[in-house]
Amino acid sequence: MAAMTFSILHVLVVALLGVRILLRPHRQPESRAAWLMVVIAAPFVGAVLYALLGETGIGRERTRRLREVAQALPPPCVGAAAHLPDAGEGRAAPLFAVGYAISGYPAVSGNSAALMADSDATIASIVADIEAAAHSAHLLFYIWLDDGNGTRVAEALMRAARRGVACRAMVDDIGSRALVRGALWSRMREAGVMLRTALPVGNPLVEMVRGRIDLRDHRKIVVIDNRITYCGSQNCADAAFLPKKKYAPWVDAVMRFEGPIVQENQHLFALNWTGNGGDDITGLLVASPDAPKPGFSAQVIASGPTYSPSAVPELFATLIYAARRELIITTPYFVPVPELLSALCAAGHRGVATTIIFPARNDDAVVGAICRSHYAALLDARVRVFEFQPGLLHTKSLTLDGEVTLIGSANLDRRSFELNYENNILLHDAACTQQMRARQMAYRQQSREVTRAEVDAWPLRRRLLDNALSLFGPIL
């Protein structure tokens, strides 16, 4: 009797979850297949896993709040610098059109940028800009540590707040949990820095009922005086990154921008800030921009669980298919959807000099294994694969034909595609792209090239493990 009851429950769980998996919108076929495999193989464990990880909603109330804020916010005041969505410069026009379709920010001209030398130089520049701030300093980080660099930025904000600058700092509730619970966060509040946490977890059991709790705000945004903004991969922390120090140094790239693009990043910060309970800062969004100056076109591209579910893969695939001569990508986490892997292989097959650089040692062993499972396909398509040796290459960058650069927080993995809030800047400028390309070439010089013969020589157990784990890539 007990066996029959168990069997009936087994069938019911598989049937009910199977229907939900098949009917859930915006799921790719391979994701449905992976979840069905898990549920059929272990229905009760699979049910728990699906309850925790199977959906990509942040909760109805949060979704409603963010959408209301997005509708209420005035668009960024970029004045004459704004292009029409389809009126970018030459070959960049369709790229900017895709970005506009994703998050509604137009390409804007009249921008300038400088690539920061390294992580410490980035922090030093941010601190200097905060020290010089006259009106406002807004910072958002996924991870903010109370280490050397994290403390330097916090103390600069405290000094600025004491002299009357409106300082707002925001962190992800899970990514920066140690900071939020520590003394430095309290000191910042006491000094007058306005503080918020993104996607606060609260009671995990309650939040799991409302929405998936591991959907996080992975963005890194700094905006000073509506005049300067930073965009890149770096969190507010030392390169030594003590929580995972055995992978150090963490190697990042960040650009410092001036021009109308700043207003778009300010708008994105305002959406995050107000959408998570912060005060109204719409006055900064309608402030008249400075007089237009010569400069390149650029565009903020935001994505996340409340945006189009295919936004990030579409962006990367469009950029990859646009390459004619050269394509260079750096990313620490590579769990591609099929269309993205096909785009990379197609670039190699059609003669584009395609290079992709990964860290040799990945802080996520499963993601590292899944990444390696794709090496053979990439190498067969004449894509050159390199593994960075000195530390964890955390830079998320793409350069295209020496003319176009994408830099920001998004990885080429499922978390960035579906689960995390991300921010990137797409720019069209040969000089600025040359800076980024030179950095990528420096990474390559510190990397070891992977060959097809090497992959063929991997032990059978390694290939079996990597390929087996790749089956679960669609559900990570």
Domains of the chain by residue range: 2-53, 62-82+109-293, 311-475
Helix (H, G, I), strand (E, B) or coil at 147: coil
Residue 137 DSSP label: E
Residue 144 bridge partners (DSSP): 236
Reference 333, options 386, 391, 399, 410; nearest CA is 410
CB 301 within 8 A of CB 315: yes
CB 144 within 8 A of CB 176: yes
CB environment 151-166: b (16+ within 10 A), e (fewer): bbbbbbbbbbbeeebb
Cis peptide before 390 (omega within 30 of 0): no
Give me 346's structure tokens.
């197609």
Helix (H, G, I), strand (E, B) or coil at 153: helix
Triad 370, 375, 381: Cα angle to 5°: 140
Positive or negative, the CA dihedral 63, 66, 70, 71 is positive
Looking up tokens 């830099």 gives 407
Q: What is the CA radius of gyration of the chain?
A: 23
Q: Which residues does 98 contact at the CB level (< 8 Å), separation at least 6?
A: 314, 315, 318
**Cα distance between residue 411 and residue 396, in whole Å:** 6
Residue 158 vs residues 131, 149, 164, 185: alpha-carbon distances, Å:
10, 14, 10, 11
Blockwise average pLDDT, block size 10, the chain, 476 residues: 60 65 64 67 64 63 80 76 54 92 93 97 98 98 97 98 98 95 97 94 61 80 97 97 92 97 96 93 79 88 86 93 98 93 97 98 92 96 97 97 97 88 97 98 98 94 82 64
CB 121 within 8 A of CB 149: no
Positive or negative, the CA dihedral 94, 99, 102, 107 is negative
**Cα distance between residue 204 and residue 173, in whole Å:** 12
C-alpha 443: how far from chain center: 20
**Cα distance between residue 268 and residue 425, in whole Å:** 12
Give me 99's structure tokens.
């970005």
Triad 448, 450, 453: Cα angle to 5°: 140
Domain 311-475 CATH class label:
alpha beta
At 462 the pLDDT is: 87
At 88 the pLDDT is: 47
At 422 the pLDDT is: 96
Q: Could you tell me where the DSSP H helices lie in 54-144?
A: 60-72, 93-103, 119-132
* Catalytic residue list: 218, 220, 225, 394, 396, 401
**Cα distance between residue 50 and residue 327, in whole Å:** 37
Q: Which residues does 307 contact at the CB level (< 8 Å), separation at least 6?
A: 102, 103
Give me 220's structure tokens.
């890194």
Helix (H, G, I), strand (E, B) or coil at 135: coil
At 285 the pLDDT is: 85
Q: How many CB atoms lie within 10 A of CB 246?
A: 8
Tell whether domain 62-82+109-293 is in CATH 3.30.870.10: yes
Positive or negative, the CA dihedral 234, 355, 390, 474 is positive
0.75 exceeded by pTM: yes
Q: At what angle do helices 29-41 and 43-53 cross, to 10 degrees?
A: 140
**Cα distance between residue 178 and residue 303, in whole Å:** 26
At 97 the pLDDT is: 94
If DSSP states are collapsed to H, E and C, what string results for 215-251? CCECCCEEEECCCEEEEECCCECCCCCHHHHHHCCEE
Looking up tokens 């390169």 gives 239
At 25 the pLDDT is: 62
**Cα distance between residue 31 and residue 473, in whole Å:** 8
Residue 423 bridge partners (DSSP): 302
